[in-house]
Copies of this chain bind each other. A is one copy, B any other.
Amino acid sequence: MLFVEVSSGDRFDEAYAAYHSPRFVFMALIVQKFGGTSVGDIARIQRIAKRAITQTKAGDQLVIVASAMSGETDRLLSLAQQISEEPDKRELDALLSTGENVSVALIAIAIRALGGQAISLTGAQIEMVTDDAHTKARILKIGDNRIREHLKAGKIVVIAGFQGITSSGEITTLGRGGSDTSAVAIAIALQADLCEIYTDVDGVYTADPRIVPHAKKIERICFEEMLNLASEGAKVLQVRSVELAMKFQMPIHLRSSFSDVEGTLVTTEVSEMEQEIVRAITCDKSEARIIVYGMFDPKLVLSKIFGRISEQNISVDLIVNSFLRGADNKISFTVKRQELKDALRAVESVLEEIGGKVDYDDEVEKVTICGVGMRSHPGVAAKMFNTLEQAGIPIYMVSTSEIIVSAILPQGKADEAVRLLHSAFSPGATL
């Protein structure tokens, strides 16, 4: 086994260079993740196997992380939902994890059928230890010994994504898109050179090409930007996988499993990235807004409400509040639409204790601009608001951070907003 030990600062450049250099000078350890459509049928599984064998013959060591065949998770979920509207989460995890087990066994069979060496491993078998938050468990640690042993023996190791096991042996899953996180976590545990995420799109674009036909593919994007884009609705990568990659500086190459073209490399920030003010524009149509009114004691209300909501494992997105002592106060925030009911129930339980009223609006959408260049260019938010206002699009709520500005808009306005902002900021023009 040949590892290139690099300090975290050099990691991106060395890995990137190695990745593009002739194979004989560098044996890379690469973790490849294939999503549901990439393993959607036997022919696709065979293509993955073929490519993997070619790649290991060229000298790379390969770990493959796979999702369930497309449609399989939904098929299993539907079986459970025919029995119970709210199936027990522990059992749901046991049920859904089988989808990935099928894929990885088939991939290993395919590699061996072509004369390669491979072994499939489940989350339990690699000791992918998680907490016990069934259906959205978080990874605590990964046993890398077994994987390393098999790699050393010359095998391609094929690991079931999306699943883990608690320290007491219960099967868990990491939530939709969890295989991305599995792959990144495994890459980190193995100190891999690169994590390749194969999907049905060929990279991250300056905007969704279905909304902005002339949107450009982004060649390189930094972790922070990718994290914000993923959080703000770009569905190419699971948010947690990007958080993890950023924390451990694990470069991700996001690319298509249906072509060999280069995708988007997600890496540490390099200085020229700041030349572009806005890297990409994204939108999210699955938001809902909750508004809480009342004569609150500002010392208690925020922690009470958001504490109760987070106990339910619900993520809150934008929060807007302003307190005026003695006046009727208002707190607005947004959650994912499918978590609206649970969030309202949590808020109501707090209001029973402290008084106040709650209202909601599930007909909202969110548009977000993102770019590390925004840090050095004030006035970006103003330009965004101006663009939307000129077009007569009302802005309900606003949230800004160092590298993003998000606006909550009425339903049906997000696509138009993305197009307007793409014209106004022209992402992809500079780098």
Contacts and interface: CB of A to CB of B under 8 A. Distances in A.
Interface of A: 42, 45-46, 76, 79-80, 82-84, 87-88, 90-92, 94-95, 97-98, 101-102, 104-106, 108-110, 112-113, 119-120, 122, 124-125, 169, 171
Contact of A109 (B83, B113, B120): B83
Copies of this chain, count: 2
A76 B87 CA distance: 25
Contacts of A87: 109, 112-113
10 contacts: A83-B109, A88-B109, A91-B119, A94-B105, A94-B108, A94-B120, A95-B109, A98-B98, A98-B105, A101-B101
Contacts of A95: 101-102, 105-106, 109
Contacts of A120: 91, 94
A109 B80 contact: yes
A150 to B, nearest CB: 12
Contacts of A106: 79-80, 83, 95
Contact of A42 (B83, B97, B125): B83
Given A42-B82, A83-B42, A88 B108 contact: yes
Contacts of A82: 42
Given A84-B110, A124-B124, A91 B79 contact: no
Contacts of A125: 169
Contacts of A76: 102
Contacts of A94: 101, 104-105, 108, 120, 122
Contacts of A83: 42, 45-46, 106, 109-110, 113
A92 B109 contact: yes
A169 B149 CA distance: 14
A104 B79 CA distance: 12
B98 A84 contact: no
Given A83-B42, A83-B45, A109 B91 contact: yes
A90 B120 CA distance: 9
Contact of A79 (B88, B101, B102, B124): B102
A134 to B, nearest CB: 12
Nearest to A90: B119
Contacts of A112: 84, 87-88, 91
Nearest to A108: B91
Nearest to A121: B94
- Highest count of chain B CB atoms <10 Å: which of A98, A109, A119: A109
Contacts of A122: 94, 171
A109 B124 contact: no
Nearest to A124: B124
A76 B98 CA distance: 12
A84 B102 contact: no
A171 B109 CA distance: 15
A64 to B, nearest CB: 13
Contacts of A113: 83-84, 87
A328 to B, nearest CB: 44
Contacts of A84: 109-110, 112-113
A105 B124 contact: no
Contacts of A46: 83
A45 B80 CA distance: 11
A87 B106 CA distance: 9
Q: Which 7 A-B pairs have the closest CB atoms?
A: A95-B105, A84-B113, A98-B98, A94-B105, A87-B109, A91-B108, A91-B105
